[in-house]
Amino acid sequence: MRPASIDQVQEVLGAQGYVCGRALATVVFLGLRLGRPLFLEGEAGTGKTEIAKALAAALGRRLIRLQCYEGLDASSAVYEWNFAAQMMAIRTAEAEGSADKDVLRAELFGPDYLIERPLLQAMRPDPAGPPVLLIDELDRTDEPFEAFLLEALSDFQVTIPELGRSARPSRPSSS
């Protein structure tokens, strides 16, 4: 349920135990209404993470957290390949004598071996509605990652070289 007014934002967040002032409720309401990210800045312990948790609970949506750190790169935030499972599949194919390279390559770099990281998880359709994507400690990343993230959030799509473009039909709520 998306709040229909600023007052209702305060009510639903309050029901989750998050006391929200009118200014913040207005920003949350507008972010939800416009389908745009909500960027919150502030000292540690001021409730930035808690509002994402409360908002996800109030909306009945999944909370997906991308914890940023120094050295985080785009592929680590989007996906990785299950290397161990890929190696097992290669060994099995070799042992069975069915190691057709083209077929094996298509299989190894397909959805069965893909480990989705927070950004890709947030782009996947969800029957409950778009998740709340919490991007925490963004200031710890470097400029190229920030640029990638801004581009990914503006278009809400990413490219996995082996699979192609992945886009979300509707934007997640961001905090």
* pLDDT tens string 40-83: 888 888 888 999 999 999 999 999 999 999 999 988 899 999 99
With H, G, I as helix, E, B as strand and everything else as coil, classify residue 42: coil
Rounded CA separation 86/109 (Å)? 8
The correct CATH number of 6-174 out of 2.60.40.1730, 3.40.462.10, 3.40.50.300, 3.40.50.20 is: 3.40.50.300
pTM (two decimals): 0.80
Q: What band does 3 get if pLDDT is binned at 50, 70 and 90?
A: very high
**pLDDT at 34 exceeding the cut of 60:** yes
- For 87-123, write each residue's pLDDT tens digit: 999 888 888 887 677 788 888 988 899 999 999 998 8
pLDDT, averaged across the chain: 87
Q: pLDDT tens across 123-149, in order? A: 888 888 888 999 998 889 999 999 889
DSSP for residue 139: G
H helical segments located in the chain? 6-15, 22-34, 48-59, 74-78, 83-96, 101-108, 118-123, 143-155
Sequence-distant contacts of 115-119: CB under 8 A, at least 24 apart = 115/79, 115/80, 115/81, 115/82, 116/79, 117/66, 117/76, 117/77, 117/78, 117/79, 117/80, 118/64, 118/65, 118/66, 118/77, 119/66, 119/77, 119/78, 119/149, 119/152, 119/158
Residue 59 CA to residue 1 CA, distance in Å, equals: 5
Residue with tokens 């999944």: 62
pLDDT for the residue numbered 99: 66
* CB-based contact 64:118 (threshold 8 Å): yes
Residue 174 pLDDT > 70: no
Is residue 150 very low, low, confident or very high in pLDDT (cuts 50, 70, 90)? confident
**pLDDT at residue 166 in the model:** 63
